[in-house]
Structure 1
Amino acid sequence: MKTTLIGSAGVAAGLSLDRKVLAQEDAFNQRVIQDAIYSMHLYRDKLIKDKHRPRYHFVMPEGMAHPFDPNGAIYWKGRYHLFYVFQPYQPVKRHRGDCWAHISSHDLVHWRFHSTALKPGEDDPEVAIYSGNAFLDKNGVPTIIYQGLGAGQCIAKATDDNLDNWKKLRANPVIPYPEFALDNDGAEFRTVLDELPEYGKYDVWDPHAWLDGDTYYCISGDNSGKVKGWPADNSTLWKSKDLENWKLVGDFFHHGETPGVLDCPDFFKLGDKYVLLFLHEGLKYKIGEFKNEQFHPEKQGTMTWQSGVGYAPESLLDHKGRRIMWAALYDSRPVWGDNYYLTRHAWDGVLTLPRILSLDKNNDLLMEPAQELQALRANHIQKTDFTLEDSKLKLSAISGDTVELDITILSQGAKEFGIKVCCSPDGSEETDIIYDSRRKVVCVDLSKTSSDKELMERYEEHGYKQEAKLELKSGESLNFHIFLDRSVMEVFVNNRLALTHRVYPTRDDSQGVAVFAKGGTIKVPRLDAWKMHPSNPW
């Protein structure tokens, strides 16, 4: 056998070939990066020019998220941290692609983007990261519990103070799925655990965990209303001493179980009571007591009457002792969640403004916008002490589609009164915010909000209206605190109601504001208006 040695010429030729290959790869990578950067510029310009894209409500910076649940809210080291579900790549079979994005802020207004916090890895039992929450463990370490699709309830702990890096427990899933079923997208769960002794006693759905003394508790939401074949009927409570070994306590609700489904639960102490926020045909809440390891609801309410658009509530307790919540907002435009929606509209994923929750002396829930939003105010206009009798007053000095309005109205016999926003000069487009004194109802009338009814199709089922009961006490004035941000409108009413909508006027001049009274007289002691600075980068 003859051995041939490679001489210096052969080595040189080989090195030359390697350099050419590397040069070609570098040129290819450079072209790909340049094309991506150019595409980003075009995409960003498209978003900036979209007249419906909010400017001071948080909006996901690119693409579309469906779902877009906010999760893991926590105040840590002087910053507000918030996570949300998004899909960074196209879902494939057995892998939906859901991950947790991460943002943080020092002032609740301006948000910094972090790298993706949680995503399914090749060696992880889960195939997607669903909803959950954040809390501090016994050592004061930020900890996340989340539903790992295909596995069960999973836990991760922060390894740095920026909360950029998270280490998942090797014991995941700490509460496994007890059954074989289909999720709401029809993808098979990977884990078949129907031989567990707990089979039929609980479901695994959106978790919420907290530390009480030296015991961890976890609510496991019920999904029996969504998926045929899930064995349990009630939401359950679990407890653990070490976050790895969990024991089933039993039903979370002592009574007043929410029938069918408990999505995105958020449970916390507020004043002397406990409050449960959750998603069930909109944003709902229950107020009561937590004793003997069960929740005893005493009253309940909603933040999304009929056609309201909020879902997936999430809250935190900050260094000032404030309970601050957010929710995601549905879109009223057609085919929301489809690929066609993405190519047509190019964006989605909007959060409510931060709301401060508290209880009044009767333990009824109060909600008001965070004071930090006042930093965005500009061009203050105030009008005081005017009266209307069965008439409408156009406010020529006040207009816009990114404004804050704060008006106090005292009825002097008017049957209906309120304020109109997004008004076109000829009245063909307008959105009416009304108080009906006879029915004791706040009504938001969206029937003329947009000339293109397709953009408002979500509201058609309820006649393009949202109504909420509000009985004013004798001599009590009515306060509408309105935040209009292009396609988002939030209306706080006497800090007792918060009505949220998506609005899509088609005309560029649909920016007028008017006050009106019907069937009697109203007095307006004060009306304040501000233009609002943008806080989103685009």
Structure 2
Amino acid sequence: MAEAMSPPLFPDSELSECPVPYQITQADIETARDVREHLLRDPHRPGYHFVVPEGLAHPADPNGAIFWRGNVHLGYIYQRHGEHCWGHVSSHDWLHWKHHLPWLTPTADSPETGIFSGNCFHGDGEAVFLYHGTEQGNSIATASDHWLEQVRKSPANPIVPVQDESGRRTGSQGWSSWDPHGWMDADGTYYGIFGGHTASVFKTRNLHSTWDHVGDFLAHPLEGVDLHEDISCPDFFPMGDKWVMLCISHELGCRYYIGDWRNEQFHPEYHEQMSWVDNGWFAPESLLDDKGRRIMWAWARDERDRETEQSASGWSGTFTFPSVMVMDKGRIHLQPIEELQDITYGGDNRRLTLENGSDVLVDGLHNRQIDICAWFMPKDAHRFGVTVCRSPGGEEQTVVGVDLREQMLFIDTTRSSETLGRRTVEKAPLPDYQAAQLQEDGGMLLRVLADNSIVEAFAGGTQAMRRMYPTRTDSDMISYWAEGGTCELDTAATEVKRTNHH
């Protein structure tokens, strides 16, 4: 390319050759050890869900997910010295993460004051970062080394400023230089979707030159969805013969559209929320791996008080467990990646007949890091499910279940903790076809992942997530229950190893 690129953020990929800002003292070592031990002792810090390594991260959006030369790379927003930055981790197995130096930070050669949402995609022999530079606008960086550590920002940044030469903010023109998502088309054209209340499309043939405004991203509204409901943290990709827009609304949290991409515009046909009681499931990010799987994460927003409880703990920023996105019957549903089985052990397998009102406590299994696969075969029961992170007397418990009358998958956290967190009931609607599917299959699989302060549930083609913060030391049991009649159950509950370093 003709343009000269700015120097890399770090001169060498080898950490030993990076500049050391000062001599590490024994006091520094003792402080680092104290912090690590403090985090290891925290009963609410997840063990196998990814967590920002230290400090309060708000926002903590996943960003820049890309499969590159045999490894998964993932970015996350965190705050350092009052500035928003992208951290960087990589993994060869989706479970254990190698921490790298920061991916993107404000630097002297670039005008932004912080790094906000964006993505990373395969360009012409290089990985391309399209991100929002705070106070400046959407911007470009590239890398092509094995570990994606030699990141260079474009001298053309910002490629679309937040204000024009007259000083008008871009929003006054009907579009915003805001949360971007980019990709390279088969003909070499680079496209970018700029989020906001009126999401828009930009394109260019040269990454480091002018990007042209094409027009509105959405070709038309969908019934029941406000046309100007903001599309932020966008993630746009083909799936089968359709295209999917995975995104958030700041009010609704995670959601997605399915439709067609033609004539440089998206024609939506279907829309569904992925978070209901609030926007706690936030900022989704996905990638396509070497097996052809579309795998996503999201930020599971912390529900402890930020000024007191989060601050005292010294950490926040948890991601949902990586899940495969599957399109079935015109909808998206999620399945935890199969690699999870590589870190499960022990557990409890049993077959039960659950009578009306029964609540069978599993003795001998005491762990808050659990993977439950429960096949429920309701005879005349209309509600059934499991409890996790439960105390022996049920003083604390998180209830996960299916309500066939309401056609809902739900997670009830009203008794999850005696002191911490919000008390809510998340209700995820089951798809219309699920009643017939239940009759055809003779049962329903309920999958539950519990991990100290997060619980995820998958059943009937839908999913739900909640945060929970049990405070009793004996809230480490599970039970199975049914209401309204009898239900047969065939279940396997396994314990899950810790994969986070601390």
**Superposition TM-score, scaled by structure 1 size:** 0.83
Q: Distance in 2 between the 1:445 and 1:342 partners?
A: 22
Q: Secondary structure at the match of 2:80?
A: coil
Correspondence 1:447 to 2:411 = no
Q: 1:276 to 1:38 in 2, by over 3 A?
A: same
Q: Which residue of 2 aligns with 1:325?
A: 296
Q: Report the Cα offset of residue 134 of structure 1.
A: 0.7
Q: Report the Cα offset of residue 429 of structure 1.
A: 1.1
Correspondence 1:208 to 2:181 = yes
- Name which of 160, 163, 181 aligns with 1:178: 163
Kept in 1, the 8 Å contact 2:304–2:310? The answer is: no
1:352-367 pair list within 5 angstroms: 352-360=320-328, 362-367=329-334
Q: Which residue of 2 aligns with 1:38?
A: 30
Q: Which residue of 2 aligns with 1:140?
A: 125
Q: Which residue of 2 aligns with 1:57?
A: 49
Q: Report the Cα offset of residue 342 of structure 1.
A: 5.0
Q: Which residue of 1 aligns with 2:493?
A: 529
Kept in 2, the 8 Å contact 1:443–1:466? The answer is: yes
Q: Report the Cα offset of residue 159 of structure 1.
A: 4.2
Correspondence 1:111 to 2:97 = yes
Q: Distance in 2 between the 1:416 and 1:52 partners?
A: 29
Q: Which residue of 2 aligns with 1:23?
A: none
Q: Distance in 1 between the 2:169 and 2:228 partners?
A: 27
Q: Secondary structure at the match of 1:316?
A: strand
- Name which of 238, 252, 269 aligns with 1:269: 238
Q: Distance in 2 between the 1:502 and 1:103 partners?
A: 23
Q: Secondary structure at the match of 1:45?
A: helix
- AA aligned to 1:393 is V
1:4-23 pair list within 5 angstroms: none
Q: Distance in 2 between the 1:442 and 1:199 partners?
A: 42
Correspondence 1:469 to 2:461 = no
Q: Secondary structure at the match of 1:344?
A: helix
Kept in 1, the 8 Å contact 2:374–2:446? The answer is: yes
Q: Report the Cα offset of residue 199 of structure 1.
A: 5.5
Q: Distance in 1 between the 2:166 and 2:358 partners?
A: 67
- AA aligned to 2:428 is A
**Superposition TM-score, scaled by structure 2 size:** 0.89
- AA aligned to 1:535 is T
Q: Distance in 2 between the 1:489 and 1:49 partners?
A: 20
Root-mean-square deviation over aligned CA pairs: 1.8
Q: Which residue of 2 aligns with 1:21?
A: none
Q: Report the Cα offset of residue 521 of structure 1.
A: 0.9
Q: Secondary structure at the match of 1:472?
A: helix
Q: Secondary structure at the match of 2:25?
A: helix
- AA aligned to 1:351 is F
Correspondence 1:160 to 2:126 = no
Q: 1:521 to 1:491 in 2, by over 3 A?
A: same
CA-to-aligned-CA distance 1:227-266 (integer Å, 9 cap, x gap): xxxxxxx111011111122111100000126424221000
Correspondence 1:517 to 2:477 = no
Correspondence 1:98 to 2:84 = yes
Kept in 2, the 8 Å contact 1:178–1:203? The answer is: no
CA-to-aligned-CA distance 1:81-129 (integer Å, 9 cap, x gap): 001111122x2xxxxx111110000000000000111111123121111
Q: 1:118 to 1:406 in 2, by over 3 A?
A: same
| Structure 1 unaligned residues grouped into runs of 5+ | 1-28, 92-96, 180-190, 225-233
Q: Distance in 2 between the 1:282 and 1:52 partners?
A: 23
Kept in 2, the 8 Å contact 1:146–1:154? The answer is: yes
Q: Distance in 2 between the 1:48 and 1:133 partners?
A: 31
Kept in 2, the 8 Å contact 1:146–1:207? The answer is: yes
Kept in 2, the 8 Å contact 1:178–1:202? The answer is: no
Q: Secondary structure at the match of 1:38?
A: helix
- Name which of 277, 283, 288 aligns with 2:254: 283
- AA aligned to 2:193 is I
| Structure 2 unaligned residues grouped into runs of 5+ | 1-21
Q: 1:174 to 1:408 in 2, by over 3 A?
A: same
Correspondence 1:311 to 2:282 = yes
Q: 1:258 to 1:537 in 2, by over 3 A?
A: farther
Q: Secondary structure at the match of 1:59?
A: coil
- AA aligned to 1:379 is G
| Count of residue pairs brought into register by the alignment | 467
CA-to-aligned-CA distance 1:325-374 (integer Å, 9 cap, x gap): 1111111111x2x4x455412111111110100211x2211210011111
Q: Distance in 2 between the 1:394 and 1:136 partners?
A: 50
- Name which of 400, 407, 410 aligns with 2:374: 407
Q: Distance in 1 between the 2:192 and 2:169 partners?
A: 23
Kept in 1, the 8 Å contact 2:162–2:169? The answer is: no
Kept in 1, the 8 Å contact 2:370–2:493? The answer is: yes
Kept in 1, the 8 Å contact 2:139–2:159? The answer is: yes
Q: Secondary structure at the match of 2:342?
A: helix
Kept in 1, the 8 Å contact 2:203–2:211? The answer is: yes
CA-to-aligned-CA distance 1:295-351 (integer Å, 9 cap, x gap): 1111111221114621111110111111011111111111x2x4x455412111111
Q: Secondary structure at the match of 1:98?
A: strand
CA-to-aligned-CA distance 1:364-404 (integer Å, 9 cap, x gap): 11210011111111114211354434422222243320111
Correspondence 1:194 to 2:168 = yes
Q: Taking every aligned residue pair, what percent have the same amino acid on both sides?
A: 36
Q: Secondary structure at the match of 1:396?
A: coil
Q: Distance in 2 between the 1:220 and 1:290 partners?
A: 16
Kept in 1, the 8 Å contact 2:333–2:463? The answer is: no
